[in-house]
A = this chain, B = another copy of it.
Amino acid sequence: MTRTSVHLVNRPSGMVEPSDFEVREGDIPSPAEGEVLVKVSHISLDPAMRGWMNEGKSYIAPVGLGDVMRAGAVGEVLESGAAGFQKGDWVQGTLGVQTHALVKGNELTKVDTSSVPPERYLSALGMPGLTAYFGLLEVGALKEGETVVVSAASGAVGAIVCQIAKLKGARVVGLAGSEEKCAYLTDTLGIDAAINYKTENVTKAMAAACPKGVDVYFDNVGGEILEAAMSLLARHGRIVICGAISGYNDFGAIRGPRNYMNLLVQHGRMEGFVVFDYHDRYGEGVAQLAKWLSEGKIEAKEDVREGGVRRYVDTLNLLFSGENFGKLVLKA
């Protein structure tokens, strides 16, 4: 058996191409003292990955040229040199786009797959769930009775934001890019209104769906939808710019929201955040999300793709074409 790993060899400009990566085969290493060898099971594919491929300062260091592409993943311990881990344990961590990962024990978290499928730790019980939880409740400071607008609402983070907002007694308006996704939002997740941003006039539809204005806008996409939400901002409204789901292929093309002075008019706030800011409260977040899941109060939806790590680029690009439906996961 060999280890297959996917390495960044070229920094893409615009869309990611298969030629930006190189697939390498090698021997499966053995763990040294303090290390754990993990057989990677499910790999999380996220829009944020696109940003990690860029050079320069961001909220997290770029992936180095030649390095295994960074990725959150879950897997099973094959061999352990670290206290607290043994063969057969399931773990979660930044395992990378590869079949086998050698990771320090203190960088892994054990997960319980007895009643929950492993991929759930990459969706509702992982970074997307935590991003939704802390982004909406802490950065957005959502209060009962307020109106929340969520872009990419059927996505990994957005769908959890929608459901938590409903649980907290908010009016929830979600944007998505197909009728099927919009129907899922209103019929399955039970939000108050869904807007198909590909076919509707976003500003008009949002105004109609938010008669009292927008108290919290959970921003994923910038551009026209951000400006629409900004124009409808309620007094003391909050715009949460969410790091984990910002999948910009071209930062240069970003324009500032022309109407940002509405922050002054409405005494509003626009704040960027990444979930790592809440690292010391992950336990609280996971416990609450697991409770809601087990009680059937929120539901998770994963879109698990087969094909292994060699399918990384093609599968990742489904995110940018909007073809995935639910948290995109690649089986290693």
Contacts and interface: CB of A to CB of B under 8 A. Distances in A.
Interface string A255-268: 11111111111111
Nearest to A260: B256
Contact of A260 (B57, B260, B261): B260
Given A254-B258, A258-B256, A268 B264 contact: no
Nearest to A269: B271
B265 A273 contact: no
A277 interface: yes
Most B-side CB within 10 Å, residue of A242, A257, A269: A269
A241 B255 contact: no
Contacts of A251: 261
Interface string A263-291: 11111111111100100000000000000
Contacts of A258: 254-256
A94 interface: no
A45 B19 CA distance: 62
Contact of A272 (B257, B263, B272): B263
A246 interface: yes
A59 B265 contact: yes
Interface of A: 57-59, 222, 241-243, 246, 248, 251, 254-274, 277
